[in-house]
Chain A
């Protein structure tokens, strides 16, 4: 089976600093994969390269969606990457604090709720056609919003319903009309995942989802991630420092250090890998 995310030879330079060095990482359909490594290893940089925040210096980021098309993501803007079916969360929570919980998720629906999104998002259409469609439907949308017609209201209601369902999936439905900033920390993390899920991704990139959580919250997160994979059929690539979580839920683990991949394999293999132990604990002087 083709991997849904296939990163080949990815290199990212910041001036003279090589943050990522010929990285090869792939995620298979229906898999939970983890990316680990000491602080500053380049994990978040990798996420940023994949999701279009940075334009990588070298290499390819390829996706093969379950629906059958393949694209190269290099140089695409973040919103285009999201349209292609990748969604992410952030290491330090980046919610829209002064919007309600439901509205946060509704923003996730943005690229699916606009008029003409079928044309704008279809990768088979030429870029010119997609841009023209985007401008045209943008104008139409303004008109529709001002006139508040039946179609417009239906669309809004569809978005609300879908977003509410997503909130139910992560168990946040009772907070729908609260401000995001008033949620407790653990639930804010959950909301970030819900928001990403609302974009209908086939691959979810989670950047330290368990950071700052207590053991109980981490346990619940563990369940949530597994449920997303099993029920929604979304593959997951996560960065995490909590080894217990990583070892328990991931099928495969990639280990990075100083921008290079130093190991990959099943949790069992990684646990006994010498290079990994060296990267985390340092070398034994006597040996």
Chain B
């Protein structure tokens, strides 16, 4: 009851506040004032409803917290899909079947979009290693993406290098760049690390933009070859479908790799480093080595995703690797659930698909993103799927 009253108060307050702009309309030509009283009613009802919803959600969240403390919490739906074997395996089978058959029933446009989703899944999972597991806030992640894309584009342009040859090479090159970035920032944490990585990302982009002799500057590189398939000639549709399967295979590879890393000795060291750096070192974990591994392995996936991106779009230029891309990937990780593989996959799908299918709302994209992030932080700060730790069985 008190809640209703509070919502009512909020509604009246908002009606009063927006009165001058929403209700009064002066027509200077005819010298008349139009009173739009209906608008006031709309605002009143809308604010009342939203305010009440907000309060209701807050109350529910607090209840959830209490339940969690007493250990009787019901797992949220995303969590249950990721955890319970009864739901998990059918879900995997379903998603797998869906992913495998997309090119057969979807048109080229949709197949292309799904390819994009998978590229972001790769990027998100790679960044998940750095941010989610090792707890190192990296705002210049897109730099490694650019490294991969440009290494393929340039090698292909100058030497006609094959996609399949460059892919592993770019992986190693990305790892090398990761280590190169990792060394100077070993001692940094939190905000400081974020600033330096941000700078690193911008440096790479600016170099690509301005070093015309090397990267052909802002005009970019065009006519990059798509991945060949044993020299078989394919038309554009087949090429798109093939590209989709290539990315799907790589994304699955990434998922397997990141899951394995997460539940290994290396992954544990990353998480320990995130949880408490001092205690982690005192327990015998080599901080330098662990951090460099995180940067290197994170960068590897970004770099490979970059190669795929270059091959898919056949044209790249520096604006594809702006700071906004880094933010987008970070949003995928944070929203999906830091450290959670399933979360990142969901996050990538949402972040790529929603703007794509709701093009009518593209003007409001930023505000919707911002709003969604705020709501996430209030109601589910650990992301859509909270990362869980492996349960070990002990053989006696």
Mark contacts of B373-396 with chain A using CB atoms, 8 A cut-off: 1 yes-contact digit, 0 otherwise. Answer: 000000000000000010110110
Identify which of A82, A98, A134, A164 gathers the most chain B CB atoms within 10 Å of its CB: A98
Mark contacts of B266-281 with chain A using CB atoms, 8 A cut-off: 1 yes-contact digit, 0 otherwise. Answer: 1011011001101111
Residues of A near B279 (CB, < 8 A) are 90, 94-96
17 additional A-B residue pairs with CB within 8 Å, beyond A97-B275, A106-B268:
A51-B282, A77-B287, A78-B278, A78-B281, A82-B284, A83-B284, A95-B279, A98-B389, A100-B389, A103-B271, A110-B285, A134-B286, A138-B289, A142-B293, A145-B264, A145-B265, A161-B394
Mark contacts of A55-78 with chain B using CB atoms, 8 A cut-off: 1 yes-contact digit, 0 otherwise. Answer: 000000000000000000000011
Mark contacts of B320-359 with chain A using CB atoms, 8 A cut-off: 1 yes-contact digit, 0 otherwise. Answer: 0000000000000000000000000000000000000000
The answer to whether A146 touches B281, judged by C-beta atoms less than 8 angstroms apart, is: no
Task: Choose from B261, B268, B276, B289 the contact partner of A103 (Cβ within 8 Å).
Answer: B268
List 18 A-B pairs, Cβ < 8 Å.
Answer: A51-B282, A83-B284, A88-B282, A96-B280, A98-B271, A103-B271, A103-B389, A107-B272, A111-B284, A113-B265, A134-B289, A142-B266, A142-B297, A146-B261, A148-B260, A156-B265, A164-B394, A177-B392
Residues of B near A24 (CB, < 8 A) are none
Residues of A near B280 (CB, < 8 A) are 96, 107
Task: Choose from A107, A134, A138, A142 the contact partner of B268 (Cβ within 8 Å).
Answer: A107
How close is A192's CB to chain B, nearest CB, in angstroms? 8
The answer to whether A177 touches B286, judged by C-beta atoms less than 8 angstroms apart, is: no
A176 at the interface (CB under 8 A from B): yes
The answer to whether A79 touches B276, judged by C-beta atoms less than 8 angstroms apart, is: no
CA separation between A142 and B391, bound complex, in Å? 22
Residues of B near A108 (CB, < 8 A) are 283-284
Task: Choose from B265, B271, B276, B289 the contact partner of A95 (Cβ within 8 Å).
Answer: B276
Residues of A near B261 (CB, < 8 A) are 142, 145-146
CA separation between A82 and B268, bound complex, in Å? 18
Task: Choose from A107, A111, A138, A177 the contact partner of B391 (Cβ within 8 Å).
Answer: A177
CA separation between A177 and B286, bound complex, in Å? 25
Identify which of A111, A134, A145 gathers the most chain B CB atoms within 10 Å of its CB: A145
Mark contacts of A177-208 with chain B using CB atoms, 8 A cut-off: 1 yes-contact digit, 0 otherwise. Answer: 10100000000000000011001000000000
CA separation between A161 and B280, bound complex, in Å? 21
The answer to whether A96 touches B297, judged by C-beta atoms less than 8 angstroms apart, is: no
CA separation between A9 and B394, bound complex, in Å? 47
Residues of A near B272 (CB, < 8 A) are 96, 99, 107
How close is A104's CB to chain B, nearest CB, in angstroms? 8
CA separation between A94 and B389, bound complex, in Å? 19
How close is A139's CB to chain B, nearest CB, in angstroms? 9
The answer to whether B278 touches A53, judged by C-beta atoms less than 8 angstroms apart, is: yes
Residues of A near B91 (CB, < 8 A) are none
Which positions 250-271 of chain B face chain A at CB distance < 8 Å?
257, 260-261, 264-266, 268-269, 271
Smallest Cβ-Cβ distance to A179: which chain B residue: B389
CA separation between A134 and B293, bound complex, in Å? 12
Identify which of B266, B275, B287, B395 gathers the most chain A CB atoms within 10 Å of its CB: B275
CA separation between A103 and B264, bound complex, in Å? 11
How many residues does chain A have at the interface if contact means C-beta atoms less than 8 Å apart? 49
Smallest Cβ-Cβ distance to A104: which chain B residue: B272
The answer to whether A160 touches B394, judged by C-beta atoms less than 8 angstroms apart, is: yes
Residues of B near A195 (CB, < 8 A) are 283
Mark contacts of B281-303 with chain A using CB atoms, 8 A cut-off: 1 yes-contact digit, 0 otherwise. Answer: 11111110100010001000000
The answer to whether A176 touches B392, judged by C-beta atoms less than 8 angstroms apart, is: yes
Top-7 shortest CB links A-B: A111-B284, A94-B279, A82-B284, A96-B275, A78-B281, A145-B264, A107-B272
How close is B299's CB to chain A, nearest CB, in angstroms? 13
CA separation between A127 and B282, bound complex, in Å? 20
How close is A106's CB to chain B, nearest CB, in angstroms? 6
Residues of A near B275 (CB, < 8 A) are 95-99
Smallest Cβ-Cβ distance to A102: which chain B residue: B392
Residues of B near A95 (CB, < 8 A) are 275-276, 279
A38 at the interface (CB under 8 A from B): no
Residues of B near A98 (CB, < 8 A) are 271, 275, 389
Which positions 145-188 of chain A face chain B at CB distance < 8 Å?
145-146, 148, 152, 155-157, 159-161, 164, 176-177, 179
